[in-house]
Chains A and B, each alone.
Chain A
Amino acid sequence: ETGVTQTPRHLVMGMTNKKSLKCEQHLGHNAMYWYKQSAKKPLELMFVYSLEERVENNSVPSRFSPECPNSSHLFLHLHTLQPEDSALYLCASSQARGSTDTQYFGPGTRLTVL
């Protein structure tokens, strides 16, 4: 349960605020992911970092800005968000050996944009 951690667990912000979500993995993995989970929608992959390089950006608006300073840490910087961005943001990590690696999820950050 402590392999992938996320902070904060809950965040309420106004549309003009700037905040950051943090993810840390203690599993020795080399790939990290950000997902968005909204009610009644599938988990949506936002970004993928493999060996600290961004390898996927699934048409995510520029108000979301990821950062991966090393293989253990992943950030999601937020600015001028919209109310429809309210969701659970999940971080995950995997070994980065190939496409069939198991992804392990963090507990998520519940974001509310007012």
Chain B
Amino acid sequence: GENVEQHPSTLSVQEGDSAVIKCTYSDSASNYFPWYKQELGKRPQLIIDIRSNVGEKKDQRIAVTLNKTAKHFSLHITETQPEDSAVYFCAATQEGSGYSTLTFGKGTMLLVSP
């Protein structure tokens, strides 16, 4: 089955700095890679996703890059703010018929200090 590795497990930055979280996956058939943000005591929420036919996607301060050959993808947050502090999870799909089965990384706790 799919295996997703995520690094680092914790990341501390100063407000205004950039943050990068990296993930690798094992199943070359995976074709959808969402990123979820989970604030303390709250549900995971999708913040950005990328499909395997695209190499990069950007949404304001957040961007995701995908390297299919190397089987890795990364989340980039620029101009970080204290409200970006949360746990971030990457995930990859395994093919299913009519449903998705996400394999998640272990998460990265991002702390943005004012």
Contacts and interface: CB of A to CB of B under 8 A. Distances in A.
Interface in A74-114: 90, 94, 96-108
A90 B44 contact: yes
B102 A100 contact: no
B114 interface: no
Interface string A50-67: 110001100000000000
Contacts of A94: 99-100
Contacts of A102: 34, 46, 49
Contact of B100 (A4, A43, A90, A98): A98
A106 B45 CA distance: 9
How big is the A interface, by class?
Answer: 20 to 34
Interface string B85-114: 000010101111111111111110000000
Q: Is the interface of B mostly helix, strand, loop or mixed?
A: strand
A98 B32 CA distance: 11
A13 to B, nearest CB: 21
Contact of B99 (A90, A101, A105, A107): A101
Nearest to B33: A100
A107 B42 CA distance: 6
Contacts of B49: 102
Contact of B32 (A42, A48, A100, A107): A100
Contacts of A106: 43
A45 interface: yes
B43 A99 contact: no
B12 interface: no
Given A90-B43, A105-B44, A108-B43, A100 B93 contact: yes
Given A42-B4, A94-B100, 11 more contacts: A4-B43, A31-B100, A42-B107, A55-B96, A56-B99, A56-B101, A90-B43, A100-B93, A101-B99, A107-B42, A108-B43
Interface of A: 4, 30-31, 40-43, 45, 48, 50-51, 55-56, 90, 94, 96-108
Interface of B: 4, 31-32, 34, 36, 42-46, 49, 51, 89, 91, 93-107
